[in-house]
Every structure is written in structure tokens, then in C-alpha cells.
């Protein structure tokens, strides 16, 4: 017989282990492993710990309300009910505000109670931290808890000059060569016509003069679709002008069409944490005790710089916000929000329009694996818990709960119905051209004014 107790206060349980006789000796029965044989705990009370921000979670988990509040706890509380039913055990819930941190060589929170054997099982999964190996054992991961930075890729105009991007470099070079050839042809035609008109002494005021500056202004005016107050009178000159305006009309139409398409395009240049650090985007992080703790623990240079410069800069308000507030800022654009993906995407599906979900991008920050269910070190029920959780996963119960509580990244649909208004950032290159042009014009005017004043002064001095 094999004797054991479920706990120290219960009676002995007797198992038939095998037979013995003088002829054949001990003949052991073909029994399953011990953890399988002793799954029935006869109503034994098991203390299980839960980490909750809101105490009402203990009563709301069955209704599955507010999944963004204690979402992983709610997903695992129902799983714990399946586990205790499987083990024929009773459940005693113990509530904590944190998973536990190490202070003065002592753990607090749920980890501290596991280390002191005040609870036997941690219902809310926790991340695998080497410092906890002396106090807890890990079974398996019942639910995924994957945080990441989520943002809408900024418009292409925020990272690239779309006025130059409309045409390929080879086409820009070709346009330059074409305008140069037309400039030379116009100069030749203008000189020939001017000589022809000079012989007949019939010069009109609107006739193009054979000067490089006048011909250049004509080409620039045609390029900008502005026309010119002067023109050529001869047949050859008019043919060159027709070709010039015709070619530039086609180029202008193609250029404008590409600009419209590029204004609706998104940049794909932000792909890494370094790109996020170098960007001008605003940052926000979903409020959670454990998130802030792991952000502060990061020592990798780029991650540390992101926290110190973008999330919690010294002397400024720390950018930890609620899930709803972060998603609404994400909707406006130019905002990076660090959130738990499963619950965050549910809020995104609620607040964002269909076309706004098309350019969402993820960049992981925390270097953590999925959280695991923890059991106190040396628990006699460890293998039973592990078998129970594996059975629950094999039957698809945990997957069902995860699909109810957490949401996957929404698929892109309805991109064609989006409408984007042009902002000042989109027109920045055009305003820069205008500003530089005005500045150059003022400088040239000042230079001309000085030049003519000096010339006039020299003329007076020579006269006297």
C-alpha cells in the first residue's frame, strides 16, 4: 500500500501499489505517475493570489466588463475556476496591488507571500525574473501580455520633401537638360528674329529681346505656368514656344497628380527604437505599475534615452496616461502610445475609423517573454497545477477566454474613403522657396540701390 495525505490535517489516503509474495517478490501495478494518481484533492483549500488595480475585478470577471482594467487577471480568474474544478479543490482568493519588488532583501506583494508560503499559487501570471527563482516555480503561460509602441506612420511630407519625390532623379535631370536645350534654341531664334526686325526697323514693345536674362525669365515663367509678357513673332520662334508650353503642361499635370498621391501616403522610415528616438512624435505610455517599473529598469542606451527624453523628461510631466486618453491622442496622429496590445487594440477598434487602422505600426520596447503562472517553491501540488493548466489549454478553454478578452491587430479596410487635409507641414518646402526668393529679392534690391547710388555719386564727383 502507498500512503499519503492531501495535507497535514487530513486523514491518510491509501493506494494499492502492488503485490508481494515469496515466490515472485514485489509486483508493482502499472500505475500512472504520482501527480496523475493524486489529482483529487478532496476539497483542499488552496490560497491563490491576484494582482488587481480595481477591487471590483473580483466580481466583474465573469461579465467580462472593462477588459482594459486588470485584463490578464480577468482572463485567468475563469481559468482558475476550471483548474480547481479539475483538482476537486476549493479556492481562497488573496488580493494584492503589485507582483512584488525586492526592497532591503525582502519581497513584497504577491512574490513576498509566495516566498513566505502564505499563498500557494499566483493566479495572475508574472514575468520571469531571475531574482525570483529562489522563491517561486513557473508552470506555463496561460495568456499573452505583449506590450509595444503603437503609432500611425506619419505622412510622407513629415520625413521627405514630396515636391522633389514626385519625379525620379533621372527625370529631374532630363527636365533640366530639356529646358537647357530649349533655352539655347530660344536664344538662337531670338537673335535671328531681332536681326531680321532690325533691318526692317519694325520693333514691337512685346517682342522678346536677345538677352539671356529675358529668355531665362520666359523659360522660368513657362515652367511655373505663368506665361510671359513678351513673345516671338517668327514662325520658328512660335514653334519652339509651342513645344516648350506643351511639354511643360504635361510635366505640370504629372507633377500635380503625383503630389496629390504622395500627400495621402504614409512614411515607412520609422522602423526601430532609434528611429522613434530621432523622430518629432509625441509619446505616451499606458498607466500600469509594472510598466513604469520596467521602463525605469532599462539600461540599454536607446531604451534608456527614450524613457529619459520622451517619456519622463526631467522637469516635465511624465507621459503616463490612461488607455482611452492614449488611444484618442493616437487617433489625432503624430503620437506614439505604449500599450498592452490585446486590450489596446480593442479600444482602437472602438474609437478609430476603419481607414485610420490601415497604417498602424508596432515596435516592441520591453525585452520580456510572456508572463507565467508562479507557484511557491517546493509546493507538493506543482505538477498537478501544471497538468491542470496544460489540460485547460489542450481543450481550448484558455484560447477561448483570450479571444474574448483580448483583440488582435485590426485589419485594414476602407482605405479609399480616407480624406486628408493639407497642413502647413506639407507645404513647408513651398513656403521655404517663397521665403528664400523674397529674401534674395530684397538683397538684390538693396545691392542695386547701393550700386546706383555709388554710380550717381561718382558721376557727380566727376562732373565737379
Provide the pLDDT for residue 261: 78
Q: Are 351 and 331 in contact (CB under 8 A)?
A: yes
* Spatial separation of the C-alpha atoms in residues 244 and 234, rounded to whole Å: 15
The C-alpha R_g of the chain, in whole angstroms, comes to: 38
Q: How remote is the C-alpha of 88 from its chain's centroid?
A: 45
Q: How remote is the C-alpha of 287 from its chain's centroid?
A: 17
Q: What angle do CA 431, 226, 198 make, to 5 degrees?
A: 135
Q: Which three cell numbers stand for residue 116?
A: 513566505
Both 258 and 274 in a single domain?
Answer: no
Provide the pLDDT for residue 244: 85
Considering the domain boundaries, does residue 442 fall inside one? no
Both 7 and 118 in a single domain?
Answer: yes
> Which of 51, 44, 14 has its CA nearest to residue 374?
51
End-of-domain residue from the set 385, 405, 425: 405
Provide the pLDDT for residue 199: 58
Number of domains in the chain: 3
Considering the domain boundaries, does residue 381 fall inside one? yes
Considering the domain boundaries, does residue 44 fall inside one? yes
Low-confidence ranges of the chain (pLDDT < 50): 417
End-of-domain residue from the set 386, 405, 424: 405
End-of-domain residue from the set 325, 354, 369: 369
* Spatial separation of the C-alpha atoms in residues 205 and 209, rounded to whole Å: 9
**Residue 274 maps to which CATH number?**
3.40.190.10
Left if phi > 0, otherwise alpha if psi is -120 to 50, otherwise beta: which for 395?
A: alpha
Both 13 and 129 in a single domain?
Answer: yes
Considering the domain boundaries, does residue 154 fall inside one? yes
* Spatial separation of the C-alpha atoms in residues 365 and 307, rounded to whole Å: 10
- Cα torsion angle, 388, 129, 126, 49, sign: positive
Place of cell 494518481: 37
Range of 311's domain? 150-159+267-369
* Spatial separation of the C-alpha atoms in residues 207 and 196, rounded to whole Å: 12
Both 51 and 130 in a single domain?
Answer: yes
Q: What angle do CA 366, 372, 378 make, to 5 degrees?
A: 130
Provide the pLDDT for residue 415: 54
Q: What is this structure's pTM?
A: 0.69
Provide the pLDDT for residue 231: 73
Considering the domain boundaries, does residue 243 fall inside one? yes
Both 127 and 17 in a single domain?
Answer: yes
Q: Are 13 and 28 in contact (CB under 8 A)?
A: no
Residues contacting 153, CB < 8 A, separation 6+: 266, 267, 268, 270, 359, 361
Q: Is 459 exposed, middle or buried, given 0-12, 13-18 or 19+ CB atoms closer than 10 A?
A: exposed
Considering the domain boundaries, does residue 462 fall inside one? no
Provide the pLDDT for residue 149: 92
> Which of 329, 15, 395, 345 has its CA nearest to residue 147?
345
Both 129 and 27 in a single domain?
Answer: yes
> Which of 185, 150, 115 has its CA nearest to residue 327?
150
| Model confidence pLDDT, tens digit, residues 106-123 | 888 898 999 888 999 998
Provide the pLDDT for residue 121: 92
106-107 and 102-103 beta bridge pairing? antiparallel
Considering the domain boundaries, does residue 420 fall inside one? no
Both 188 and 206 in a single domain?
Answer: yes
| Model confidence pLDDT, tens digit, residues 411-439 | 776 555 456 677 777 778 888 888 998 99
* Spatial separation of the C-alpha atoms in residues 464 and 454, rounded to whole Å: 16
Q: Are 73 and 52 in contact (CB under 8 A)?
A: yes
Provide the pLDDT for residue 206: 64
Both 67 and 130 in a single domain?
Answer: yes
Both 118 and 15 in a single domain?
Answer: yes
| HEC readout, the chain | CEEECCCCCCCCEEECCEEEECCCEEEECCCCCHHHHCCCCCCCEEEEEEECCCCCHHHHCCCCCCCCCCHHHHHHHHHHHHHHHHHCCEEEEEEECCCCCEECCEECHHHHHHHCCCCCEEEEEECCCHHHCCCEEECCCCCCCCEEEEEECCEHHHCCCHHHHCCCHHHHHHHHHHHHHHHHHHHHHHHHHHHHHHHHCCCCCCECCCCHHHHHHHHHHHHCCCCCCCECCCHHHHHHHHHHHHHHHHHHHHHHHHHHHHHCCECCCCCCHHHHHHCCCEEEEECCHHHHHHHHHCCCHHHHHHHHHHHCCCCCCCCEECHHHHHHHHHHCCEEEEEEHHHHHHHHHHHCCHHHHCCEEEECCCCCCCCEEEEECCCCCHHHHHHHHHHHHHCCHHHHHHHHHCCCCCCCCCHHHCCCCCCCCCCHHHHHHHHHHHHHHHHHHHHHHHHHHHHHHHHHHHHC
Both 334 and 203 in a single domain?
Answer: no
Both 237 and 344 in a single domain?
Answer: no
Q: What are phi and psi of 303, to 5 degrees?
A: -65, -40
Considering the domain boundaries, does residue 187 fall inside one? yes
Both 361 and 387 in a single domain?
Answer: no
- Cα torsion angle, 415, 419, 424, 426, sign: positive
Could you tell me the end-to-end alpha-carbon distance of the chain, in angstroms, rounded to an integer?
Answer: 137
CB atoms within 10 A of CB 378: 9
Amino acid at each position: 500500500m502507498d500512503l499519503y495525505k492531501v495535507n497535514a490535517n487530513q486523514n491518510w489516503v491509501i493506494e494499492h501499489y502492488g503485490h508481494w509474495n515469496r515466490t515472485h517478490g514485489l509486483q508493482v501495478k502499472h500505475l500512472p505517475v504520482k501527480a496523475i494518481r493524486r489529482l483529487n484533492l478532496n476539497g483542499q483549500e488552496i490560497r491563490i493570489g491576484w494582482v488587481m488595480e480595481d477591487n471590483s475585478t473580483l466580481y466583474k470577471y465573469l461579465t467580462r466588463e472593462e477588459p482594459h482594467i486588470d485584463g490578464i487577471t480577468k482572463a485567468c480568474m475563469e481559468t482558475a475556476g476550471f483548474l480547481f474544478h479539475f483538482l476537486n479543490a476549493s479556492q481562497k482568493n488573496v488580493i494584492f496591488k503589485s507582483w512584488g519588488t525586492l526592497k532591503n532583501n525582502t519581497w513584497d506583494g504577491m512574490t513576498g507571500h509566495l516566498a513566505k508560503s502564505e499563498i500557494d499559487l499566483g493566479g495572475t501570471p508574472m514575468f520571469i525574473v531571475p531574482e525570483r527563482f529562489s522563491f517561486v516555480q513557473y508552470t506555463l503561460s496561460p495568456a499573452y501580455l505583449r506590450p509595444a509602441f503603437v503609432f500611425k506612420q506619419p505622412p510622407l511630407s513629415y520625413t521627405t520633401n514630396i515636391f522633389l519625390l514626385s519625379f525620379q532623379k533621372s527625370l529631374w535631370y532630363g527636365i533640366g537638360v530639356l529646358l537647357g536645350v530649349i533655352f539655347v534654341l530660344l536664344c538662337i531664334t531670338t537673335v535671328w528674329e531681332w536681326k531680321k526686325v532690325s533691318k526692317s526697323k519694325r520693333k514691337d514693345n512685346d517682342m522678346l529681346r536677345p538677352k539671356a536674362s529675358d529668355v531665362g525669365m520666359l523659360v522660368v515663367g513657362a515652367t511655373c505656368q505663368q506665361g510671359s509678357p513678351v513673345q516671338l513673332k517668327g514662325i520658328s520662334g512660335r514653334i519652339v514656344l509651342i513645344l516648350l508650353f506643351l511639354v511643360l503642361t504635361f510635366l505640370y499635370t504629372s507633377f500635380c497628380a503625383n503630389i496629390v498621391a504622395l500627400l495621402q501616403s504614409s512614411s515607412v522610415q520609422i522602423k526601430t527604437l532609434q528611429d522613434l528616438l530621432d523622430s518629432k512624435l509625441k509619446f505616451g505610455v499606458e498607466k500600469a505599475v509594472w510598466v513604469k517599473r520596467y521602463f525605469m529598469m532599462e539600461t540599454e542606451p536607446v531604451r534608456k534615452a527614450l524613457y529619459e527624453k520622451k517619456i519622463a523628461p526631467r522637469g516635465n510631466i511624465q507621459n503616463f496616461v490612461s488607455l482611452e486618453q492614449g488611444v484618442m491622442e493616437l487617433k489625432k496622429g503624430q503620437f506614439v502610445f505604449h500599450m498592452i496590445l490585446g486590450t489596446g487594440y480593442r479600444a482602437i477598434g472602438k474609437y478609430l475609423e476603419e481607414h485610420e487602422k490601415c497604417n498602424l505600426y508596432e515596435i516592441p520596447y520591453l525585452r520580456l517573454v510572456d508572463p507565467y503562472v508562479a507557484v511557491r517553491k517546493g509546493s507538493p501540488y506543482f505538477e498537478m497545477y501544471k497538468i491542470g493548466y496544460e489540460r485547460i489549454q489542450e481543450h481550448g478553454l484558455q484560447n477561448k477566454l483570450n479571444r474574448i478578452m483580448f483583440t488582435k491587430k485590426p485589419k485594414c479596410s476602407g482605405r479609399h474613403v480616407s480624406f486628408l487635409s493639407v497642413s502647413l507641414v506639407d507645404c513647408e518646402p513651398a513656403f521655404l522657396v517663397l521665403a528664400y526668393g523674397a529674401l534674395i529679392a530684397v538683397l538684390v534690391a538693396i545691392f542695386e540701390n547701393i550700386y546706383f547710388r555709388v554710380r550717381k555719386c561718382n558721376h557727380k564727383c566727376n562732373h565737379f
